[in-house]
Structure 1
Amino acid sequence: MAKIILFNKPYGVLSQFTDDRGRPTLADHIKRKGFYAAGRLDFDSEGLLLLTDDGALQHQISHPRQKLPKTYWVQVEGSVDDEALNALRRGVSLKDGLTAPAKARRLAEPRVWPRVPPVRARKSVPTSWLELTIREGRNRQVRRMTAAVGFPTLRLIRMAIGNWQLGALAPGEQRLEEVFVAPGVTSAPARRPQRPRHRR
């Protein structure tokens, strides 16, 4: 049996255990030895990060060829219209090529934890939320996709990777699970993420 840690990575924490610039890292939160991040989450993004003690499972989760769906809740600047949603669903042209079609829908403002530091939103410009599911792993892809359709990302929370969900984990919290790893078997497609039990 392999072990996997589901970790709610806070804003401003690196998805690695060391940093020569003294920034917060996984070492400040993950004290169990022998676990390594399966994939990454940007410094300025929040939410689900998976760590495992099993090299085969780490490869299955993180390798681009596996194309595990990753679901994000995205706060963007502006009121998202149907044209932008349809563009995301078709695929967006970025500098490194056309993205694969994404699942995209409007999301009522979710009850999530306050971000520290708070999002700097302009009072004169409304914000809205999207749920976006992609199967690629390009650098800062979600942020580039929303910007390309005219709605810059203000806040990004990853809610699910495959069938692993953030659930009720608060920032900095973690949950340990045991999983059976069979050769060539990857996790099942994601279900719609459960809403975390946090309020602003």
Structure 2
Amino acid sequence: MGKYRYILFNKPYGVLSQFTDSSGAARHTLKDYIAVPGVYPVGRLDWDSEGLMLLTDCGQMQHRLSHPQFRHPRTYWVQVERIPDAAALRQLQQGVVINNYQTQPALVRLFDIEPAIPPRSHPIRFRKNVPTAWLEMTLTEGKNRQVRKMTAKVGFPTLRLVRVAIAYLQLGDLQPGQWRYLTSEEESLLKLWQQRQQRN
């Protein structure tokens, strides 16, 4: 069996997390950026979300990182409308009820200053009299549009969403639309994580 391939990709805004688009809408897909045959995305990022994606041709790793049974942290930088107060942050940390589902506890902190990330290709809607704030949120589950639903539930709608980490893997200085293979150190960390999951 040959060596598996692992790719990190910084998905821009307005790109589907798949290689084909059957809708006929001529939307951008992963095929516009990654010309590596046989690799598939691990999990998804919504069309209007940005940031870190992992692609691989290792089916077992894909399963481990996609299946809800195997919880792993995913970290997001989230720009929200208005500035969340301590009560809202506490609610997000403890979990909120969305569609009769109680979300798992999350790590949530408010940034003191805006994180240094490239501007979005399509700017967020700007409202002169409404301030915005940035949160760092680390979740161990990935339900459909969960971060957006969580912040909306506590009264602070998401304006921009960027995933910056998956388990041990970091977005780092990878620019929107760029991809690279994992380093040998990153591969080792990922495989170590997989072995720990198998033992649990």
- TM-score between both structures, scaled by the size of structure 2: 0.89
Q: Which residue of 2 aligns with 1:31?
A: 35
Please give the per-residue CA displacement for 1:42-71, whole angstroms capped at 9, x wherever unaligned. Answer: 000000011001111111111111111000
Aligned 8 A contact 1:88 1:102 in 2: yes
Partners of 1:128 and 1:115 lie apart in 2 by 16
- State the 1:182 CA deviation: 7.1
Q: Which residue of 1 aligns with 2:195?
A: 185
Equivalent residue of 1:39, what SS?
coil
Q: Which residue of 2 aligns with 1:139?
A: 144
- State the 1:2 CA deviation: 2.5
Equivalent residue of 1:74, what SS?
strand
Equivalent residue of 1:185, what SS?
helix
- State the 1:184 CA deviation: 5.2
Please give the residue correspondences for 1:1-200 in structure 2 after superposition, counting only pairs within 5 Å: 1-20=3-22, 21=24, 22-107=26-111, 108-177=113-182, 179=187, 181=191, 185=195
Partners of 2:4 and 2:168 lie apart in 1 by 16
Number of residue pairs matched by the alignment: 187
Partners of 1:186 and 1:41 lie apart in 2 by 26
Aligned 8 A contact 2:61 2:194 in 1: no
Percentage identity across aligned positions? 55
- State the 1:185 CA deviation: 1.9
Q: Which runs of 5+ in 2 are unaligned?
A: none
Partners of 1:184 and 1:72 lie apart in 2 by 22
- State the 1:124 CA deviation: 0.8
Amino acid at match of 2:6: I
Partners of 1:95 and 1:127 lie apart in 2 by 26
Partners of 2:32 and 2:160 lie apart in 1 by 23
- TM-score between both structures, scaled by the size of structure 1: 0.89
Aligned 8 A contact 1:143 1:153 in 2: yes
Amino acid at match of 1:94: I
Partners of 2:17 and 2:7 lie apart in 1 by 13
Partners of 1:183 and 1:155 lie apart in 2 by 29
Name which of structure 1's ranges 142-151 and 114-123 shifts more when overlaid on structure 2. 114-123
Equivalent residue of 2:195, what SS?
coil
Partners of 2:85 and 2:156 lie apart in 1 by 10
Please give the per-residue CA displacement for 1:15-39, whole angstroms capped at 9, x wherever unaligned. Answer: 0000022210000001011100010
Aligned 8 A contact 1:66 1:186 in 2: no
- State the 1:96 CA deviation: 4.0
Equivalent residue of 1:175, what SS?
strand
Partners of 2:120 and 2:82 lie apart in 1 by 19
Aligned 8 A contact 1:88 1:145 in 2: yes
Aligned 8 A contact 1:60 1:186 in 2: no
